[in-house]
A and B are shown apart, each in its own frame.
Chain A
Amino acid sequence: MTDAPEKNQYDLAKTLTIEVFLGFSFALLSGMAYFGSGFDLEFIYQGF
């Protein structure tokens, strides 16, 4: 038994939407990471 075409289209749209969301998240995270997360090493590296 095969899925109905509507179901396949729905799955494809869902997959692509999730991928766009993940792509956006990675872009946002990389932008934040460029400045350093600020929570790990920055404070400890404050040797004069």
Chain B
Amino acid sequence: MKSVDHALSLLGYKATPFGLVRIALWAFLFLYLAGLALPPGNRTIPFTENVVGLPITPLVTLPSDPAFIDEQALPTQGGLKIAWISDSSSVIYKPGAKFLDFSAMGDNRLLPVETLNQLREINQNDIHIDLYIRLSLRSLESYTLTEIALERNADIIVLTLNPFFVFNNHAIFKGNTHFARATRTWSKNPAVWYWLALLPQPSDHLWAGLGRHLNIFARAPAFAPDVHAAKLSLWKAIFPQIKGQNTDKLSAPPSGEGLKENSMIFWVTQRYLNGDLSKLVNDKNEAINALWYRQLIRLADFTQDTISRAILLQTLERIKASGKKAILYLAPVSENLREDETAWKQYQKIKSELKALQQVYEDDKVKLIVDIPPDALNGTVFVENDDVHLNEVGGLSSFLASSIASLTSKPEQKESTP
């Protein structure tokens, strides 16, 4: 059998336009029937255990879940609605921890929770936070989440810019499941329509269109961890020497079995990391985050026509056009980054580029915080051998709380009448 076509011609089948329509209708019918058979399942939303009893709603799904966002209704009551979009730099690792234990994420604290506590201390009590945190959130996903936060009518957006990735064109997104939701969102902004053709696969447009109308696509993601685990076991059966990194709690490998250095594999296979790569892992084969991140920051590209810059500019443009308030802050880095002179210089260039954008976009509603005052970082402790993740938040939460409070306490400017 040479091909499916060949097999069909052996059977005497001749495709006709009506035949293709009938096949499409059958496919649709089977998808519909499968949706009836699939029971509603409980979708797993990371960080749910970190916010129990708090006016915070985690919304971003597991990385394996193409839904991307748990589309639940916002609470109708509540005063200030904050949308907090961030990556692992907003997770405060439990004291002494060098890595996140995916099976016990509840042991870690979250910067938004600490900030909420600080806001309450300054009598800002009527607050709800839509929490859009995903580990390894990249700029394109941040853009999509910004659009979604605006759709959900957030009063203020707090968005983290990760210095190691903000101008990195090699890692603008992580994983491809986010496209099934993103295309629906991007289509609302003509300036990014070319992304629709460049980035997602054609099937993603189909999911974006069908996802809301067929039960199978709406319900199946709840079973994503099971599908993911099945896929991983298939991978391991075929290629026993490869062990996949797994950020899904439900299918996380038992402690000690996961190869932590897997986070670097993309960068190694693409030959973006230089020198003796064995020095980038410790004797337990765990990635030494500081060392390979310092190589990543060298990849920042400051030329004008790059995709990373386009994403950042569109994020800023959309916030500006919405008239909403926003705080975009560059995640603080450890002073230890100075140990690597080239990486430190690159970090300074990133700050200069952002300061140039600050001149263009900052106003009484939008704050682009590039330099967090040194006082605000008193008591901040970075994870050992890691320049960006935190063990202790120090004054950072208090600084962010006061920034939010000062921005939201400003009265709305009324347009003057002639």
Q: Which residues of A contact B (CB under 8 A)?
A: 11, 14-16, 18-20, 22-24, 26-28, 30-31, 33-36, 38, 41-48
Subset of 12 A-B contacts with CB under 8 Å: A19-B26, A22-B23, A22-B26, A23-B24, A26-B24, A31-B216, A34-B66, A34-B203, A34-B217, A36-B66, A46-B244, A46-B245
Scan residues 227-257 of chain B and give those whose CB is less than 8 A from a CB of chain A.
Answer: 227-228, 231, 234-235, 242, 244-245
Scan residues 173-230 of chain B and give those whose CB is less than 8 A from a CB of chain A.
Answer: 173-177, 180, 203, 206-207, 216-217, 220, 224, 227-228
- B153 interface contact, C-beta 8 A: no
Contact A31 B34 (CB under 8 A): yes
Q: Which residues of A contact B302 (CB under 8 A)?
A: none
Scan residues 1-51 of chain B and give those whose CB is less than 8 A from a CB of chain A.
Answer: 8, 11-13, 19, 22-31, 34
Partner of B234, one of A14, A33, A38, A45: A38
Q: Which residues of A contact B228 (CB under 8 A)?
A: 35
Q: Which residues of B contact A19 (CB under 8 A)?
A: 19, 22-23, 26
A17 to chain B, nearest CB (A): 9
A7 to chain B, nearest CB (A): 11
**Given known contacts A14-B11, A47-B171, is B231 in contact with A38 (CB within 8 Å)?**
yes
**Given known contacts A18-B13, A34-B217, is B30 in contact with A46 (CB within 8 Å)?**
no
A14 to chain B, nearest CB (A): 7
Q: Which residues of B contact A23 (CB under 8 A)?
A: 22-27, 29-30
Q: Which residues of A contact B24 (CB under 8 A)?
A: 23, 26
How distant is the Cα of A23 from the Cα of B153 in the complex, in angstroms?
Answer: 41
Interface size class of B (residues with CB under 8 A): 35 or more
Contact A45 B263 (CB under 8 A): no
Total number of A-B contacts with CB less than 8 angstroms?
102
How distant is the Cα of A38 from the Cα of B176 in the complex, in angstroms?
Answer: 10
How distant is the Cα of A20 from the Cα of B8 in the complex, in angstroms?
Answer: 13
Contact A14 B12 (CB under 8 A): yes
Contact A35 B231 (CB under 8 A): yes
Q: Which residues of A contact B207 (CB under 8 A)?
A: 34
Contact B27 A27 (CB under 8 A): yes
Q: Which residues of A contact B66 (CB under 8 A)?
A: 34-36
Contact B34 A48 (CB under 8 A): no
How distant is the Cα of A31 from the Cα of B29 in the complex, in angstroms?
Answer: 13
Partner of A30, one of B8, B174, B203, B227: B203
- New A-B pairs, 6, CB < 8 Å, besides A24-B26, A47-B267: A19-B26, A24-B30, A30-B206, A38-B231, A42-B175, A47-B170
